[in-house]
Structure 1
């Protein structure tokens, strides 16, 4: 099933997981999926390896299992910066054979130690290529606070419009901690004529190191309320975990009240946190 069709009926809840760094440990992810299955997510997305590594075979294996073994729609991430056209064609064939109908088309992060291939400079190039060579539902990434490489929010929206016009069927945002950025972004997208469903990406933060890494990677801004919480509980792991869950729940409740198309929860492969959040918001996820 194309995940873009689910938005016609309800507020969507989706989850994201990542393959283990070592393929020998892949069994761990299936224990995680068994616990997440009870949350009845509308779909689960699987990142491309860990930290940009070349474990794409694990991505395909897990995405196939989600769809065929667990009966949940799956999305496979596909970053293109280090792939050529033949490699992408082979991956598309693998997705097709596995019954995976949904692809999150990404440029991917630039690795200074690796020279990028030149077939796909932007995610929009990959989107066009997939549309020409397969019958897939294509999901794109978007950035409420603007992409870190974009000179302005206007320029960021202009490039997003190009990606949508190339054939992107729905969007998932990068994580954010201040909902006002999402609402401003949604308004900019609407003015630009971007009319596909936009899911809000939410990451519950459970320790200080995690948020420091996210800020370094993504450049997201931290509201005063969030910083105060982190400073108060950073030396109490259990309190920090519970406060992070509560903060994410507050974000989600507000987003649903404001008519968000869906919530995409970055689980970090932690079923406990995902289940706590689901318990708090499940009654809000109505048609």
Structure 2
């Protein structure tokens, strides 16, 4: 039986949203239209990604600073170890702290060269996410969110090794983990059971991606080790030139997954928005998340 949104109206659900910094003026408009649409849902936080090797460093910082200056949202800035010395990473972290950021998504990051290139710490750089977390804690009392991989990180030998790394992240100071997106809720449940059996008690927040573009999602999944099941491909088959139906199908699939997770007892969800609001807003609405009347996004100066 599919859960109904009304079933959850008595207990507030926690949602958070991920955005990426814009590269062009048009993308800037799209991003802020997305933020303005989703802000009234009163997310727990919103995160802003950080490209490999700090390739979006300035744009990430600008987006985060604008979120603080023009909205009531609580931004979480991504920060990685890739292609940077400790001093360079610390400089970015201090810059975040100075503009009012108190929440960081701490990631090792993937090599700029992409899939198939094994990560190598930069000379004088942070060697791992636990090292980065300890460095951040020396700069300020940041809230630290980290990544988790229900199907294991592509470089890990197995899930057990991934879980041990997650444990070291927690010991270093992490207080929440967000998963890579997945489509197998049974597999996610088994992963959480193994995490708890390892003595890890921080929240493990499922990361969900509405499939706006199936081919794009499949390519990204291949890079991150996420499995795209055959049934998902079948649901989008024949819709390559039918964007309206694709959007309806995407909403149905994401809502179905979210409702099943609600039935399993999960109450916090992280959405990879791809800087597109309508589908995420619709899914949140179906889940029972409603706008907060006093939520504010100020007009740009």
* TM-score where L is the length of structure 2: 0.84
* Deviation of 1:110 (Å): 1.1
Partner in structure 2 of residue 217 of structure 1: 223
Partner in structure 1 of residue 36 of structure 2: 34
Tell me, in whole angstroms, the C-alpha distance in 2 between the residues paired with 1:226 and 1:89. 42
Tell me, in whole angstroms, the C-alpha distance in 2 between the residues paired with 1:108 and 1:283. 32
Contact 1:102 1:137 (C-alpha < 8 Å) held by counterparts:
yes
Contact 1:75 1:104 (C-alpha < 8 Å) held by counterparts:
yes
Distance 1:40 1:19, change over 3 A: same
Q: Please state if 1:146 is matched with 2:147.
A: no
Partner in structure 1 of residue 83 of structure 2: 82
Select 1:46's aligned residue among 38, 45, 48. 48
Q: Please state if 1:199 is matched with 2:218.
A: no
Distance 1:71 1:176, change over 3 A: same
Distance 1:203 1:52, change over 3 A: farther
Partner in structure 2 of residue 72 of structure 1: 73
Q: Please state if 1:275 is matched with 2:281.
A: yes
* Deviation of 1:237 (Å): 2.2
Partner in structure 1 of residue 3 of structure 2: none
* Deviation of 1:181 (Å): 1.6
Partner in structure 1 of residue 271 of structure 2: 265
Contact 1:104 1:138 (C-alpha < 8 Å) held by counterparts:
yes
Q: Over residues 142-177 of structure 1, what are the superposed CA-to-partner deviations in whole Å (9 max), with x where a residue is unaligned?
A: 001111111111111111111111111111000001
Tell me, in whole angstroms, the C-alpha distance in 2 between the residues paired with 1:267 and 1:75. 15
Partner in structure 2 of residue 117 of structure 1: 122
Q: Aligned runs of 1:154-173 on 2, under 5 Å?
A: 154-173=160-179
- The two structures, once aligned, show a CA RMSD in angstroms of 2.3
Helix, strand or coil at the partner of 2:95: helix
* Deviation of 1:21 (Å): 2.2
Q: Which has the higher contact order (CA 8 A, sep 6+)?
A: 2
Helix, strand or coil at the partner of 2:237: helix
Q: Please state if 1:19 is matched with 2:25.
A: no
Contact 2:209 2:254 (C-alpha < 8 Å) held by counterparts:
yes
Number of paired residues?
276
Helix, strand or coil at the partner of 1:233: coil
Q: Aligned runs of 1:1-20 on 2, under 5 Å?
A: 10-20=12-22
* Deviation of 1:112 (Å): 2.7
Partner in structure 1 of residue 6 of structure 2: none
Contact 2:150 2:182 (C-alpha < 8 Å) held by counterparts:
yes
Partner in structure 1 of residue 63 of structure 2: 62
